[in-house]
Chain A
Amino acid sequence: QKEVEQNSGPLSVPEGAIASLNCTYSDRGSQSFFWYRQYSGKSPELIMFIYSNGDKEDGRFTAQLNKASQYVSLLIRDSQPSDSATYLCAVTASGGSYIPTFGRGTSLIVHP
């Protein structure tokens, strides 16, 4: 049973701070890693994907992947109240599978 674990939160950070969201996964052969943002009542929106060990930056977002430790994280710099949402981690297994396994999400609250 492939598992993707996230702390449900809520994670509360002040405006302007760095928010750090973490995700661990059980399948050591996992190949692709995704972060989605989901506002209340809306559908998930893809914000980052990462395939290789290390960091990948896109604007205020940085995804970090450590395959040896089986975790992937999302850093949000200069957090804004508009970043308040649930963040879903998704992992696609090895062997060319296109069916992602989703974590249950971490709720982030950015307070002014």
Chain B
Amino acid sequence: DVKVTQSSRYLVKRTGEKVFLECVQDMDHENMFWYRQDPGLGLRLIYFSYDVKMKEKGDIPEGYSVSREKKERFSLILESASTNQTSMYLCASSGKTQYFGPGTRLLVL
């Protein structure tokens, strides 16, 4: 079974804090993704990575950065959290098929 894990299920942070969300996959997948999901807006791609140290911007990269130092691990960084970044964050990895982690529900106060 493919397993994608995320470091936290729920997170509460204050405006201006630096936030790290971590994702680990155990299927040796080349591709990893970060999405956010908001009611009525669907899944929106923030960043993706197709190899170690490689990253590409998705549809909404502003306010975010990513790091992929090892193949199995893909981190999302909110440099200075803002209230409009309150959301559900979903990590995924893929070969031909994309599998999602359990999600992190982030609340920025």
B94 at the A interface (CB under 8 A): yes
By DSSP majority rule, is chain B's interface helix, strand, loop, or mixed?
strand
Q: Please give me the 4 A-B residue pairs with the lowest Cβ-Cβ distance, nearest first.
A: A104-B42, A43-B100, A43-B103, A102-B43
What are the residues of chain B within 8 A of A98 when measuring CB–CB? Answer: 31, 50, 94, 96, 98
B residues near A, CB below 8 A? 31, 33, 40-43, 45, 48, 50, 90, 94, 96-103, 105
Interchain Cβ contacts under 8 Å between A and B, 17 examples: A32-B96, A32-B97, A34-B97, A34-B98, A42-B103, A43-B90, A44-B43, A44-B90, A88-B43, A90-B98, A98-B31, A98-B98, A99-B48, A104-B40, A104-B41, A104-B42, A105-B42
How far apart are the CA atoms of A88 and B101 in the complex, in Å?
16
A45 at the B interface (CB under 8 A): yes
Minimum Cβ distance to chain B for residue A7 (Å): 14
A46 at the B interface (CB under 8 A): yes
Chain A interface residue count, Cβ-Cβ cutoff 8 angstroms: 19
